[in-house]
Structure 1
């Protein structure tokens, strides 16, 4: 590992799974002081064996990180990367307060729409509290909006065992200010992450970028759960491809009514997804493993936006109802 230096940052990683482990490994190998908030088997694995990390074309490396069970054992950080599933954050948010000092930057990188998405002023959704992702406001109370940078990660990673992370492909990260514009802190952290092998750009409209990512997640993830198949088969069958297109059209309509500049060609976007081949979505992997699904952030939150904007999205509502029942049936 690169020696710890006076130029290193203190970086806390919340969520030691696939994406969190990818961040932790790259940043630690670049010489930053990385602390990981973990529990159970993952905490024990990190304590005893370190973080085992592989990336295409490179041998497995054992990366030293500082693993802790409680945030108060870590203390205030320069950057806190929140790589939890969206449904896990409300219960944990208050416990993260010890990680946040007056100058700490909070970078959530989960799927779907985050709790802060409508908190910025000056757009049609201003002031809407997304109860799908923050039911009683616990996240908003614990994590200061002024210290948040929005983040989107386009990387394929997996964690086949506790403390083991595999980076398969991709890796582009986009971050930006919730209130738009490229700030000095966004540009600074984009450079820091890029230098650590996490290619990052600072966006002038992170809300737009998150909605563009949502377009894929809102279609591929729930439809893969309902059909229990990979994205190539979804798009090759005319019937399910039509459902996919109509679902994307509804999502795109909501985003445009929300004031987002979405110059998206649906056919071209679907073609990009098809080129990725036989992708098993993260939501289908969660279903097969018996884990909760991120339906609220990926479908529930945009439906809340649709209701505020008086946009009808009947197919999205139907898919959410069916996928929710499928998820419930899988755990009973």
Structure 2
């Protein structure tokens, strides 16, 4: 397949390398030092004791690549509105658009049949730019669970995990979902086709909405957070609020807080994406990961006092550091 990965950071680089190694025609949209490094040395993935070097096509100009079979957006939420505009030349009537994003994506309620059907998440797409640039019928939902880090421009270290879940925004089964899932399986991913991607996204969000903002506040990796009894207790309370909110709007992942914390515990010492962004002085995607969740709670009058408190603190922390996007 002709595949372009928009964003060659930790997750984007990981996906691009594995898909290239599986024989696909892979391009990446990158810029600055990352673009230079990939063109000079290839995209490099360190996983276990192996180094995979992928000579992908790297460019900053989407129009030079033409229409693709699949486009994977692997950028942080604050950059997405600008990025999708630049990537429009890649998207044709049959292109599958796969947003590999953290938090609640802009499309989450657009084709939903639940309590908030059709709701635009203004926390992540305030003026509808993403919705206008990317046809909703081209979107295939995606949840990425692996832990990766960009150790230098164009060089990715895969820490743990290979699970990826795909699903239609409107739910149910489809041939394209099965095809994309099988393609990723053949590339070595633990890929799954879901008939309810909303629950899978909520399942990951249970962890992200806790671990990310708290790690931003205290500067610790996930294992240290879990090992602290007071913080673990806070996580259980935050996850309980998130699960209750999900129940209220018809999203019911079959998991409890202890089980969800256990999933992250198995990954070992993980620096969350927010902590990585803090250390690299990059914008913090607080709105997609926690702000959108608080907004949903406000819309349905659900009590989430701990989520609101952590959101307020983490948002102010990002603001005082100059890392809160406009």
Partner of 1:30: 22
Among candidates 96, 101, 105, match of residue 87 of structure 2: 96
Contact preservation (8 Å) 2:243, 2:252: no
Partner of 2:45: 53
Among candidates 212, 223, 234, match of residue 232 of structure 1: 223
Q: CA separation in 1, counterparts of 2:178 and 2:160?
A: 24
Among candidates 26, 29, 32, match of residue 40 of structure 1: 32
Q: CA separation in 1, counterparts of 2:190 and 2:26?
A: 18
What is the SS of the residue equivalent to 1:165?
A: strand
What is the SS of the residue equivalent to 2:270?
A: coil
Contact preservation (8 Å) 2:206, 2:260: no
Q: CA separation in 1, counterparts of 2:303 and 2:236?
A: 16
Q: Does residue 178 of the first structure (1) align with residue 187 of the second (2)? A: no
Of 71-80 and 275-284, deviating more is 275-284
Q: Does residue 321 of the first structure (1) align with residue 312 of the second (2)? A: yes
Contact preservation (8 Å) 1:28, 1:34: yes
Among candidates 7, 11, 18, match of residue 10 of structure 2: 18
Q: CA separation in 1, counterparts of 2:288 and 2:251?
A: 18
Q: CA separation in 1, counterparts of 2:120 and 2:206?
A: 21
Q: Output the TM-score relative to the length of structure 2.
A: 0.96
Q: Deviations over 1:44-72 (max 9, x none)?
A: 111111111221132x2321101111110
**Displacement, 1:231?**
2.1
Contact preservation (8 Å) 1:23, 1:198: no
Partner of 1:309: 300
Q: CA separation in 2, counterparts of 1:75 and 1:289?
A: 32
Among candidates 130, 154, 162, match of residue 163 of structure 1: 154
Q: Output the TM-score relative to the length of structure 1.
A: 0.94
Aligned pairs (5 A) from 1:112-191: 112-191=103-182
Q: Which runs of 4+ in 1 moved over 6 A?
A: none
Q: Does residue 109 of the first structure (1) align with residue 87 of the second (2)? A: no
Among candidates 276, 294, 299, match of residue 290 of structure 2: 299
Q: Deviations over 1:5-61 (max 9, x none)?
A: xxxx00010000011111111111111110111111111111111111221132x23
User: In 2 relative to 1, CA 123–35 (structure 1 residues): closer, same or farther, beyond 3 Å?
Assistant: same
Q: Deviations over 1:105-150 (max 9, x none)?
A: 0000110000000101411111111011011100000000001000
Contact preservation (8 Å) 1:124, 1:309: no
Among candidates 233, 243, 259, match of residue 250 of structure 2: 259
CA RMSD of aligned residues (A): 1.3
Q: CA separation in 1, counterparts of 2:251 and 2:180?
A: 25
**Displacement, 1:194?**
0.9
User: In 2 relative to 1, CA 180–194 (structure 1 residues): closer, same or farther, beyond 3 Å?
Assistant: same
Gaps of 5+ in 2: none
Q: CA separation in 1, counterparts of 2:261 and 2:159?
A: 21
Q: CA separation in 2, counterparts of 1:95 and 1:312?
A: 39
Q: Deviations over 1:240-291 (max 9, x none)?
A: 2221111111111111111012222222222333343332212112112211
**Displacement, 1:330?**
2.4
Give aligned pairs, total.
Answer: 323
